Amino acid sequence: MYKSFLIKYAEIGIKGKNRYIFEDRLCEQIRYALKLCDGEFEVAKTQGRIFVNALTDFDFDEVVENLKTVFGISAICPVVKLEDEGFDKLCADVIDYMDKVYSDKSFTFKVDARRARKNYPKCSMEINCDIGEAVLNAFPQTRVDVHNPDVMLHIEIREMIYVYSVVIDGPGGLPIGTNGKGMLLLSGGIDSPVAGYMISKRGVKIDAVYFHAPPYTSDRAKQKVVDLAKLVSRYSGPITLHVINFTDIQLYIYEKCPHDELTIIMRRYMMRIAEHIAAQSGCLGLITGESIGQVASQTMQSLAATNEVCTMPVYRPLIGFDKQEIVEVSEKINTYETSILPYEDCCTIFVAKHPVTKPNLNVIRKHETNLSEGIDALVQTALDTDEVIVVE
Ligand code: ATP
Ligand code: MG
Is residue 176, in this structure, part of any structural domain at all?
Answer: no
Q: Are residues 13 and 160 in the same domain?
A: yes
Q: Are residues 291 and 232 in the same domain?
A: yes
Q: pLDDT at position 355, please?
A: 82
Is residue 175, in this structure, part of any structural domain at all?
Answer: no
Model confidence at 15, pLDDT cuts 50, 70, 90, reads: low
Candidate from 13-17, 184-188, 276-280, 366-370 with smallest mean pLDDT = 13-17
Q: Are residues 145 and 82 in the same domain?
A: yes
| Residue owning the nearest CA to atom 11 of ligand 1 | 297
Q: What's 385's domain CATH number?
A: 3.40.50.620
Is residue 299, in this structure, part of any structural domain at all?
Answer: yes
CA distance readout (Å), 277 to 281, 285, 387, 388: 6, 11, 12, 11
Q: Are residues 260 and 367 in the same domain?
A: yes
For residue 213, the CA-to-ligand 1 centroid distance in Å is: 14
Ligand nearest to the CA of 187: 1
Is residue 221, in this structure, part of any structural domain at all?
Answer: yes
Contact assessment for residue 313 and residue 285, using Cβ atoms and an 8 Å cutoff: yes
- Measuring from each residue's beta carbon to the nearest atom of ligand 1, which residues come in under 6 Å? 185-187, 189-192, 209-211, 270, 288-290, 294-295, 297-298, 345-347
Q: Are residues 210 and 347 in the same domain?
A: yes
For residue 188, the CA-to-ligand 1 centroid distance in Å is: 8
**Which pTM was predicted?**
0.91
Q: pLDDT at position 17, please?
A: 77
Q: Are residues 265 and 320 in the same domain?
A: yes
End-of-domain residue from the set 169, 192, 220: 169
For residue 195, the CA-to-ligand 1 centroid distance in Å is: 10
Model confidence at 13, pLDDT cuts 50, 70, 90, reads: very low
**Of 347, 348, 350, 357, which is best to mutate to test ligand 1, by the most ligand atoms within 8 angstroms of its C-beta?**
347
Is residue 174, in this structure, part of any structural domain at all?
Answer: no
Percentage of the chain exceeding pLDDT 70: 97
Q: How many domains does the chain have?
A: 2
Q: Are residues 83 and 214 in the same domain?
A: no
Is residue 44, in this structure, part of any structural domain at all?
Answer: yes
Give dist(CA 133, CA 38) in Å, integer: 40
Is residue 165, in this structure, part of any structural domain at all?
Answer: yes
Give dist(CA 273, CA 204) in Å, integer: 21
Q: Are residues 154 and 202 in the same domain?
A: no
For residue 305, the CA-to-ligand 2 centroid distance in Å is: 18
Query: If you average pLDDT over residues 269-286, what whole number do you get?
Result: 98
Containing structural domain, residue 263 = 181-391
226 Cα distance to chain centroid:
17
**Of 190, 192, 389, which is best to mutate to test ligand 1, by the most ligand atoms within 8 angstroms of its C-beta?**
192
- In tens, the pLDDT along 350-383 reads 677 788 889 999 999 999 999 999 999 999 999 9
Q: Are residues 33 and 156 in the same domain?
A: yes
- Ligand 1 atom with least separation from CA of 339: 2
Q: Are residues 111 and 258 in the same domain?
A: no
Q: Are residues 58 and 11 in the same domain?
A: yes
- Ligand 1 atom with least separation from CA of 346: 27
- Ligand 1 atom with least separation from CA of 246: 27
Return the HEC string of the chain: CCCEEEEEECCHHHCHHHHHHHHHHHHHHHHHHHCCCCCCEEEEEECCEEEEEECCCCCHHHHHHHHCCCCCEEEEEEEEEECCCCHHHHHHHHHHHHHHHCCCCCCEEEEEEEECCCCCCCCHHHHHHHHHHHHHHHCCCCEECCCCCCEEEEEEECCCEEEECCCEECCCCECCCCCCEEEEECCCCCHHHHHHHHHHHECCEEEEEEEECCCCCCHHHHHHHHHHHHHHHHHHCCEEEEEEECHHHHHHHHHHCCHHHHHHHHHHHHHHHHHHHHHHCCCCCEECCCCCCCCHHHCHHHHHHHHCCCCCCEECCCCCCCHHHHHHHHHHCCCHHHHCCCCCCHHHHCCCCCCCCCCCHHHHHHHHHHHCCCHHHHHHHHHHCCEEEEEC
Is residue 123, in this structure, part of any structural domain at all?
Answer: yes
- In tens, the pLDDT along 297-352 reads 889 999 999 999 999 999 999 999 999 999 999 999 999 999 999 877 766 666 77
End-of-domain residue from the set 169, 194, 224: 169
Q: Are residues 145 and 262 in the same domain?
A: no
- Ligand 1 atom with least separation from CA of 318: 18
For residue 188, the CA-to-ligand 2 centroid distance in Å is: 6
End-of-domain residue from the set 137, 169, 201: 169
Q: pLDDT at position 208, please?
A: 98
**Of 185, 225, 266, 318, which is best to mutate to test ligand 1, by the most ligand atoms within 8 angstroms of its C-beta?**
185
| Residue owning the nearest CA to atom 16 of ligand 1 | 288
Candidate from 40-54, 74-88, 232-246 with smallest mean pLDDT = 40-54
For residue 19, the CA-to-ligand 1 centroid distance in Å is: 36
Ligand nearest to the CA of 210: 1
Q: What's 146's domain CATH number?
A: 3.30.2130.30
Ligand nearest to the CA of 326: 1
**Of 183, 184, 186, 187, which is best to mutate to test ligand 1, by the most ligand atoms within 8 angstroms of its C-beta?**
187
